[in-house]
Chains A and B, each alone.
Chain A
Amino acid sequence: MARVLLVEDNEMNRDMLSRRLTKRGFDVVMAVDGAQGVEMAGTQMPDLILMDMSLPVLDGWDATRKLKSADATRAIPLIALTAHAMAGDREKAIEAGCDDYDTKPIELPRLLEKMDRLLSEGNGRGSHGDQP
């Protein structure tokens, strides 16, 4: 079962996405701000991170930079999520170190496809086995 760290400050978005991913067999752990996300990435060692970019304490940009500059977490695939969805944001997210980017409202089939691709590319690297 793949472990996914969902870093999201909005309670409704957290509840909604975690429930939908859990139903599909993911083990979902959650953080409510960027600093907690960085900490939990180190302790939980998820197979994949879903990172909202608009976060309190430490925003998603800085959290991503921290994760991608640390040896222990650099290889964990990370998908940026944002409700701003402005032109050029995808490129900027990739530039910041994100492995992929998606917009809110979440289109679950599209997000799952991205997650599957990144998890497949990382098979054998994570500590929680294959995809759900």
Chain B
Amino acid sequence: MSNLPARTSLARLRHDLRTPVSHILGYVELLLEDAREQNFLGRIPILADIQQGGRRLLDAIETALSSSEGSFPEHLNLSALRVQLRETAESLLETSSRLRRTLGDNDTDALKDLDVIAQALRDLLEFAAQEETPAFPDTINLPPATQVGERECHPRGVSL
């Protein structure tokens, strides 16, 4: 038994929130690898802070939007998630600004990677600041469960 509209809404929201977190974690890991290889040891603790913050963001999303096949809540309350995302993303933006000030102007590769992280954080802040929109309502009302066949649960048009 599954609920296709609910599953699709939840999947889309998870995708839209996990994608910027994916950018944060991926690029901070790239920067950490570079810092270790190039012996920029002073950057490592700051980057590790950003990495830990990225993991906190992911945990918050997972906790708020956890799913189990065939079992969906009647609605999702996103207000607590918005608060968590805002607090963590604001803190990480400050941390990334602090790191930026330690980089030289000619360290263009690191600056570009840091820009991607900052943009991803701003994307999360934008979500957190939205009171209620059709795309990201504060509460998602999920339609009542309907019984559909397994094939209908993942038609060819539905993507992950």
Contact = CB atoms under 8 A, between A and B. Distances in A.
Interface of A: 10, 12-13, 16-17, 19-20, 23, 53-55, 59-62, 80, 82-89, 92-93, 104-106, 108
B30 A19 contact: yes
Interface stretch (B16-24, B42-50, B130-138, B141-149): B16-24
B58 A105 contact: yes
A10 B69 CA distance: 27
26 contacts: A12-B26, A13-B19, A13-B23, A13-B26, A16-B27, A20-B26, A23-B33, A60-B159, A61-B159, A61-B160, A62-B156, A82-B160, A83-B14, A83-B19, A84-B18, A85-B14, A86-B7, A86-B67, A86-B69, A87-B69, A89-B160, A92-B154, A92-B160, A104-B18, A105-B26, A105-B58
Contacts of B22: 13, 83, 104-106
Interface residues of B, number: 31
Contacts, number: 85
B41 to A, nearest CB: 19
